[in-house]
A = this chain, B = another copy of it.
Amino acid sequence: MPSKPYVRDPSAGKKPFYVGVDLGGTNIKVGVVDSNAKVFYRHSIPTEHDRGPDNGVERMGRAVQDAIAALKLKPKRDVARVGLGSPGTMDIPHGMLLEPVNLPTWRQFPLRDRLSKECGLPVAFENDANAAAYGEKWAGAGRKAHSIVLLTLGTGVGCGIIIGDLILDGEHSHGGESGHVLVNPADDAPRCGCGKTGCLEAYGSASGLIRHVIERIERGAESVLAQRHRAGEKIDGLAIAEAAEAGDALALSAIDETARWLGIGVVSLMHTIDPTMVILGGAMTFGGARHRLGRSFLERISSEVQRRAFPTLAKNTLIRFAQLGGDAGFIGAAGIARLEHLRLRPEGLPSPKARRRS
């Protein structure tokens, strides 16, 4: 059943508005955000990715137009630009999807320009993890930070790096793929989703956590999870989190181990980027600051950082939970649209000065 969009009176918003689109393998989230990063509209529709990119881009274009219409805004006059965060791989400068793992039929597709045509507005194109990082920096946990590294912990370990106004896209649109820094060079290190071995993601993700639990069960560890595994039930991140909350020793120690590896990865990032703040988001943060398990997870990561980082960085680098949840992607995409607008200001749109005069 399609949910109804969240709509809020835009008359209090600071113009121009920006539309942010967060394209995922399952859902497309569309939001309208004002120049101060306030959200005035939010809606989620299915991606239907198996129906191909033409269908997808039409659906996105319509969703953008619906959003603008729902707020009774005028495109171009009130809404300067659209931002799109997309999964990869991609070519950011050319706005191309290349080989997107979660959108397998959308290969070699000129997504940015097609969406721009579809919705009649210029589109800023970005990697979804970088867009989420920009969202947290613009409007979330990192809004007072000069530079941030966002790690999004879920099935994998996503990463986005923002330094001032620089979004670290990288030369080949692979900047901030830090889920794949090497934390274990051993030849028998576990295999990562990327096909290589020893990546941070192979340890710090839900997949890594589950693998660790199952290995220990198969070596004879006792746990409520062991009983469920032997009964043929699937062990997922949620099951492990629930067991940990109930005090299960295996689940607790596995989460500890995951946190320890994340601490190792965070130290390598601190010694390279030296950000103001490292932000942890995603489902694998175990409820974040509001839950005991989330807090102890963060403490375990921090204690590994304390042990391994340069003392100045161990003392001064902030490590915090993300604040925008599932909105980070579209808010960040809208924020990147704003950045591009402020840099490029297209002829089609009057400058704020001209608007004030008229």
Taking CB atoms and an 8 Å cut-off, the chain A residues in 127-178 that contact chain B are 145-147, 159, 161, 163-164, 166, 168-178
Taking CB atoms and an 8 Å cut-off, the chain A residues in 81-97 that contact chain B are 89
A169, closest chain B residue (CB)? B274
How many Å from the CB of A130 to the closest CB on chain B? 11
Contact A310–B268 (Cβ < 8 Å): no
Assembly CA distance A185 to B182 (angstroms): 10
13 other A-B residue contacts (CB within 8 Å) besides A163-B166, A171-B316: A89-B312, A147-B171, A161-B272, A163-B168, A168-B273, A169-B274, A172-B313, A175-B273, A177-B271, A177-B272, A181-B268, A196-B308, A272-B272
Contact A176–B272 (Cβ < 8 Å): yes
Residues of B near A183 (CB, < 8 A) are 182, 185
A194 within 8 A of B: yes
How many Å from the CB of A38 to the closest CB on chain B? 27
16 contacts between A and B (CB under 8 A): A147-B170, A161-B272, A168-B273, A170-B273, A171-B274, A171-B317, A172-B312, A172-B313, A174-B270, A177-B310, A180-B271, A180-B310, A181-B267, A182-B267, A182-B308, A269-B272
Residues of B near A184 (CB, < 8 A) are 185
Assembly CA distance A126 to B177 (angstroms): 28
A276 within 8 A of B: yes
Residues of B near A178 (CB, < 8 A) are 271-272
How many Å from the CB of A278 to the closest CB on chain B? 11
Count of chain copies: 2
A264 within 8 A of B: yes
A275 within 8 A of B: yes
Contact B181–A271 (Cβ < 8 Å): yes
Assembly CA distance A224 to B16 (angstroms): 73
Contact B310–A264 (Cβ < 8 Å): no
Assembly CA distance A272 to B147 (angstroms): 15
Assembly CA distance A72 to B124 (angstroms): 52
A268, closest chain B residue (CB)? B181
Contact A174–B271 (Cβ < 8 Å): yes
Assembly CA distance A169 to B173 (angstroms): 22
Q: Which of B89, B146, B308 contacts A171 (CB 8 A)?
A: B146
A261, closest chain B residue (CB)? B185
